[in-house]
Amino acid sequence: MAVIPKTKGGSPPLSAYDGRTVCLTTRHGKQRALALPFQRGLRVQLQLCEQDTDQLGTFSGEIPRLDDAAATCRAKALLGMQASGLTLGLASEASFGPHPAMPLLAVGQELLVFLDQERDLCVLEQRLEWRTNYSQQLLAADQQPDGWLRQVGFPSHAVIVRPATWTAELRPELLFKGLGSQVALRDALARCRAADPAGSVWLETDMRAHCNPTRMRSIRRLGLALVRRLQTACPACGSPGWGLLDTLPGLPCGDCGTTTTLTLSEIWGCPQCGARRDQPRRDGRLHADPGQCPWCNP
C-alpha cells in the first residue's frame, strides 16, 4: 500500500473532502491518470491499495466476471477500503465490445465509482468511449500479424496471445499477456502455434490500463468528470455528487417536427437524497438535423 505524493500547483477551491485521503484500489497504475485531477479538484490525497482485483474477473477471460460492471467496480472499491481502513474509496472498471447498433465499430464503457461510507454515498460516473483500440484477430498458421499490430498501436499498446484452441483449465501457461516487444511477441506466437493443432493463434489487445495508453487517457477524462460531479452539491440536500443520471430522447426534427432518438432533455439528480430534475440539453440544441430524422431520412 503506497501513498501517492501530493502535486504542486495552485490551490483548488474548497471541497467537501478537503484534506481527506481516498483509497484507490488498482493493480494497473490508474493513479497515473487519477491522482492529479483529484488532488487539484478536491484537495484529496489518493492512497494506492493494490488488492487482487483479478478475483472479480479479467479482460482476457481466464476468470469470468460474475457481476455487471457497476457492481464489480463497487466491489473493487470496497476491497481497498476494507484493507486500508479508509472510509473513502475509488475504483475503475470497464467493458469493451462491438457497438450494439454498429457491430463493426468497437466501443468501451468506462466506469468510475466513488464511495463515502460516512455519508452512505455511492457516486457512479460513466462514459461511452469511442476512442478505443479494442480489437481481436484470429491468425491462421500462414498469416502474419503485422497489419493488425499497426492498427492497434503495438508496441506502445500491449497485446495478448494464446492458441486458438486454448482453455484456462487445460493450458493456463499458454496465455501471454502484456506483450509489448517484438521479441516477446515472436516467442509467444511460436509457442502458441506449436500448441495448437492447426497452428492458429488468437490475438487481442490488452485492455488493462497500464498496458493501454488509450484507455489510460479515457480514465483520466472520466476522473475529471467525476471530480466535477463531486464538486457539485445537491440543491435539495447539499450532498456532493449532483450530476447527470440519464437522458430523454425525442429531439424534434428541424424540418418536419418528427421526434428523433436524439436527446431532448437531461435528467440530473442526487445519489444521496434521490432528488431529480429535468434540464434542457447543455449544448442548447433545440432541433435535430433532418438527416437524423426517421421521416426526412428514412
Question: Which domains, from first to last, does the chain contain?
Answer: 2-132+210-231 (3.90.950.10), 136-205 (3.30.1490.20), 244-292 (no CATH)
Q: Coil, helix or strand for 41?
A: helix
pLDDT at 11: 52
Global pTM reads 0.87
pLDDT at 54: 75
pLDDT at 4: 45
In angstroms, the CA 167 to CA 143 distance is 22
| Phi, psi for residue 107 in degrees, rounded to 5 | -135, 160
The predicted-structure confidence for 164-221, as pLDDT tens digits, reads as follows 998 877 788 899 999 999 999 999 999 999 999 999 999 999 999 999 999 999 999 9
Q: In the chain, which ranges are E strands?
A: 2-3, 21-25, 45-49, 88-98, 106-116, 121-129, 136-139, 159-163, 176-179, 201-205, 243-249, 263-269, 276-280
The predicted-structure confidence for 86-104, as pLDDT tens digits, reads as follows 999 999 999 998 877 677 7
pLDDT at 5: 43
pLDDT at 145: 96
Low-confidence ranges of the chain (pLDDT < 50): 1-10, 12
